[in-house]
Chains A and B, each alone.
Chain A
Amino acid sequence: MEIGAEAIVQNKTPKRAAVTAGADRPGRRPTSGRFRRLNVLVGVLSIPLFVILWELISRSGIVNMVLFPPPTVVAAAVLEWMRSGQFFWDVAASLYRVSAGFLLGSALGVLLGILTGQFPVVSSLLSPLFQILRPIPPIAFVPIVILWFGLSEAGKLFLVVWGVFFTVWLSTHIGVQKVDRGLIRAALMLGTPRRQMLQEIILLGALPYIVVGLRTAVSISFYTLVAAELAGTFAGVVYRIEIAQQNLQTGQVMGGLAALGLISFIADRLFAALAERTVWWR
Chain B
Amino acid sequence: MSGYRSTTKLALASSQPSVKAASKQPAIQVSNLSIVFDTNRGQMIAVDRVSFDVAAGEFVCIVGPSGCGKSTVLNTIAGLELPFEGEILVEGSPVGNPRPDIGMVFQQPHLFPWKSVRRNIAHGPRMLGRSAKEACAIADDLIAMIGLKRFADAYPNTLSGGMQQRVAIARALANEPRVLLMDEPFGALDAQTRAVMQDNLLELRDRIKATIVFVTHDIDEAIVLADRVLIMSAGPGRILREVAVNLPRPRSSAILIEPTYLALKRDCLEVIRAEGLRAFNQSDSS
Contacts and interface: CB of A to CB of B under 8 A. Distances in A.
Interface in A174-189: 180, 182-183, 185-189
Given A1-B146, A1-B200, A4-B196, A180 B110 contact: yes
A192 B196 CA distance: 31
Given A182-B108, A190-B127, A5 B80 contact: no
B187 interface: no
Interface string A163-203: 00000000000000000101101111111110010001100
B147 A182 contact: no
A4 B127 contact: no
Select the residue from B148, B149, B156 with max chain A CB neighbours within 10 A: B148
Interface residues of A, number: 27
Contacts of B151: 5
Given A182-B108, A201-B112, A189 B150 contact: no
A186 B155 CA distance: 17
A281 to B, nearest CB: 5
Give the interface centre of A1, A9, A182 by most chain B CB atoms within 10 Å.
Answer: A1
A8 interface: yes
Interface stretch (B48-56, B157-165, B231-239): B157-165
Contacts of B203: 1
Given A5-B151, A280-B114, A187 B108 contact: no
B146 A204 contact: no
A104 B108 CA distance: 39
B276 interface: no
Given A5-B150, A204-B114, A190 B80 contact: no
Contact of A189 (B102, B128, B160, B200): B102
Given A192-B127, A193-B127, 12 more contacts: A1-B146, A2-B147, A8-B163, A186-B104, A186-B110, A189-B80, A190-B124, A191-B98, A192-B123, A200-B123, A281-B115, A281-B155
Interface of B: 78, 80, 97-98, 100, 102-104, 106, 108, 110-115, 123-124, 127-128, 146-151, 155-157, 160, 162-163, 168, 171-172, 174-175, 196, 200, 203
Interface of A: 1-2, 4-5, 8-9, 11, 180, 182-183, 185-193, 196, 200-201, 204, 207, 280-282
